[in-house]
Amino acid sequence: MKIEDRENSVELLRHLLGTLDLADIENIKGEELSDYSYYERAADAEIFYRNNFEKVLKLLVQRQLEWIGTQTENIEQLMFGRGTINGLLLIQNWFEEQSNILKQKREEEKPKKTIYGIK
């Protein structure tokens, strides 16, 4: 790896910022899940997230940002608040990934429109 590539790599930037993303979680698809169970879990997650959890997560992130901006007294509190936001966003990203899985599955299952037998 070239020095320029290493300096700008995602892994290095995440390490310097002390953050994670979904790529850091191995086997996110499911350890031993069948395809049906995998998509069923994604559907359950999407329903729960859209109906209940999405508003709560956004509110928590907003309140944490407000607290960081107005109440932090030292760098430790700032870093802890940033870590809290990172954790909340990691949860949000996981739920949105489940939603994307379902969107992709629905697109695959849509019947293809044909015009006079031509796809």
With pLDDT > 90 as the criterion, what percentage of the chain qualifies? 20
CA–CA distance, 89 with 72 (Å, rounded to integer):
20
The DSSP annotation for 3-70 comes to HHHHHT-HHHHHHHHT---GGGSTTTT-SS--HHHHHHHHHHHHHHIIIIIHHHHHHHHHHHHHHHHH
Q: What is the pLDDT of residues 73-105, one digit of tens each?
A: 999 999 999 989 999 998 898 888 888 888 888
Q: What is the pLDDT of residues 25-80, one digit of tens each?
A: 555 555 666 777 878 888 888 888 888 899 999 999 999 999 999 999 999 999 99
Output the pTM of the full model: 0.62
Residue 52 confidence (pLDDT): 86
